[in-house]
Amino acid sequence: MHAVDAKLRDRLAARIDAYKDRLLDLSHQLHDDPETSFEETRAAEAVATLLEEAGFAVERGACELPTALTATYGSGDLTIGVCAEYDALPDLGHACGHNVICAAGVGAAIALTAAADELGFRVKLLGTPAEEEGGGKVLMLERGAFDDVTVAMMVHPAAVDDVDPRGSSTAVGRFEITFTGRAAHAAAAPECGLNASDAAVVAQVAVGQLRQQLRDGYRVAGIVRHGGERTNIIPERTVLEYEVRTPTGEELEALRERVLNCFRGAALATGTTLDIRRIQPDYLELRHDTELMASYARNLRALGREVPEPGPVPRGTGASTDMGNVTHALPAIHPALGILGAQGTPHTREFAAETATPAADEAALAGALALAWTGLDLAADPEWRTRSLAARALSYVRE
């Protein structure tokens, strides 16, 4: 690893310190005003305004997505991309800590401007909506937002720091199922109806039976979003949302077909019709860049955090992220950033409360500086920089 001038590192740290209050205000503003997928109007505007004030050229509504944005600073052959998520979960708010992700990402991007002109590189902050459902990064990837990005980085809060490059996520596919039958009076003429609610029940039982035959690591989950109107009406329409998860994207389609056959059989058994609609693009599993992750780990430890060394077996997670698709397209990382002392786990009310604590604030600032220093390590190392540019040139380019 090429030695980086300590004065440059200090300059990045000072930049974050100068914006410390603004970054933490951003995190708390998002936490107090959660907005769900593709509805993050106020969050996106807050990010855009802060970055403009920091000297970035901002494009609002990037990639024809109203709550997406890109912000760039500097020039050069190397472009360091930083992703910022800001969508919340329905009812639970920021129970996945995207307010922390956003503050850390924005902070890292602002910090990197302190070295961009001297080392000749671009900084690009990508404000990516709808990670929880909708696949904002996949849509932005397909529409060209990452075409000029050499490497991409972000952090995701958890209970502990995890910098194992072997760690991954699961691939996930989500779809909506609508059964349509025929309404009838449930007491006076039930024989005239075609019960869409029964179709939903048959399908759910079939999926439950299927689970016994699934491989380890395969997951199927779902909800009934609409199940009928009144007890005295044979339900003519039911709507379900389901997802399937597999360790890799290559395995996803086969599992999806097995699950969809459960719904097709239920429609046949009940005489109802079936409509299947994909809710979002498929999310692929994470593939971390080992060199970027090693640099990030060193920098996090340099901040005094006791980051555990990777164990003999990588930590598993059943979670999924659209950042996985980005890691298939270019060198990228998505490490876990510990909210130290947190007792809750993501997607719980306990964790939602913990993403607005002093420990969460400390994590956001530490993650921002560790990411910024990682970008600095890359930009200041001629050999690594050349390798990254070559790797990007050979990687997937959108069709």
Residue 397, pLDDT > 80, answer: no
Question: Do residues 383 and 270 both lie within one domain?
Answer: no
* Summary mean pLDDT of the chain: 95
Question: Do residues 219 and 289 both lie within one domain?
Answer: no
Question: Do residues 143 and 21 both lie within one domain?
Answer: yes
User: Would 1 be classed as within a structural domain?
Assistant: no
pTM: 0.94
User: Would 30 be classed as within a structural domain?
Assistant: yes
User: Would 399 be classed as within a structural domain?
Assistant: no
Question: Do residues 192 and 61 both lie within one domain?
Answer: no
Report, as an integer, the average pLDDT of 56-79: 98
Question: Do residues 149 and 32 both lie within one domain?
Answer: yes
Q: Are 63 and 398 contacting, i.e. CB atoms less than 8 angstroms apart?
A: no
| Domain CATH number, residue 252 | 3.30.70.360
| pLDDT value of residue 1 | 61
Question: Confidence class of residue 120 from pLDDT cuts 50, 70 and 90?
Answer: very high
Question: Confidence class of residue 399 from pLDDT cuts 50, 70 and 90?
Answer: very low
Per residue in 7-26, pLDDT (tens digit) is 999 999 999 999 999 999 99
| Domain CATH number, residue 162 | 3.40.630.10
Report the Cα 363 to chain-centroid distance in Å: 18
Single-letter residue type at 212: Q
Report, as an integer, the average pLDDT of 243-249: 96
Phi, psi of 247 (to 5 degrees): -60, -30
Report, as an integer, the average pLDDT of 25-35: 98
Q: Which of 278, 296, 326 is the last residue of a domain?
A: 278
Separation of alpha carbons 347 and 96, rounded Å: 6
Report in angstroms the alpha-carbon separations of 180 from 161, 176, 227, 242, 393: 47, 13, 11, 17, 49
| pLDDT value of residue 339 | 96
374's enclosing H/E stretch is helix 358-380
Separation of alpha carbons 285 and 34, rounded Å: 27
| pLDDT value of residue 316 | 65
Report the candidate in 327, 263, 235 with the shortest Cα–Cα distance to residue 290: 327
Residue 31, pLDDT > 90, answer: yes
Separation of alpha carbons 363 and 342, rounded Å: 11
Question: Confidence class of residue 201 from pLDDT cuts 50, 70 and 90?
Answer: very high
Question: Do residues 36 and 157 both lie within one domain?
Answer: yes
Question: Confidence class of residue 398 from pLDDT cuts 50, 70 and 90?
Answer: very low
User: Would 354 be classed as within a structural domain?
Assistant: yes
User: Would 273 be classed as within a structural domain?
Assistant: yes
Residues 6+ apart with CB under 8 A from 19: 54, 107, 110
Q: Which of 278, 301, 332 is the last residue of a domain?
A: 278
Question: Do residues 123 and 263 both lie within one domain?
Answer: no
Question: Do residues 150 and 26 both lie within one domain?
Answer: yes
User: Would 333 be classed as within a structural domain?
Assistant: yes
Q: How many residues would you count in the chain?
A: 399
Question: Do residues 163 and 175 both lie within one domain?
Answer: no
For 247, the domain range is: 171-278
Give the chain's domain count: 2
| Half-sphere exposure for 164 (CA within 13 Å, toward CB) | 16
Q: Are 81 and 150 contacting, i.e. CB atoms less than 8 angstroms apart?
A: yes
Separation of alpha carbons 29 and 43, rounded Å: 8
Percent of the chain with pLDDT over 70: 98
Residue 332, pLDDT > 50, answer: yes
Report, as an integer, the average pLDDT of 173-195: 97
Question: Do residues 379 and 290 both lie within one domain?
Answer: yes
Structure-token match 């997951």, residue found: 219
Q: Which of 278, 309, 337 is the last residue of a domain?
A: 278
| pLDDT value of residue 394 | 78
Per residue in 333-360, pLDDT (tens digit) is 999 999 999 999 999 999 999 999 999 9
Q: What is the dihedral of CA 47, 52, 57, 58, to 10 degrees?
A: 30
Q: Residue 206 is encoded by which pair of tokens? A: 């079939």
Residue 113, pLDDT > 60, answer: yes
Question: Do residues 31 and 157 both lie within one domain?
Answer: yes
| pLDDT value of residue 200 | 98
Structure-token match 């998520």, residue found: 85
Report, as an integer, the average pLDDT of 242-261: 97
Residue 250, pLDDT > 90, answer: yes
Question: Do residues 110 and 147 both lie within one domain?
Answer: yes
User: Would 380 be classed as within a structural domain?
Assistant: yes
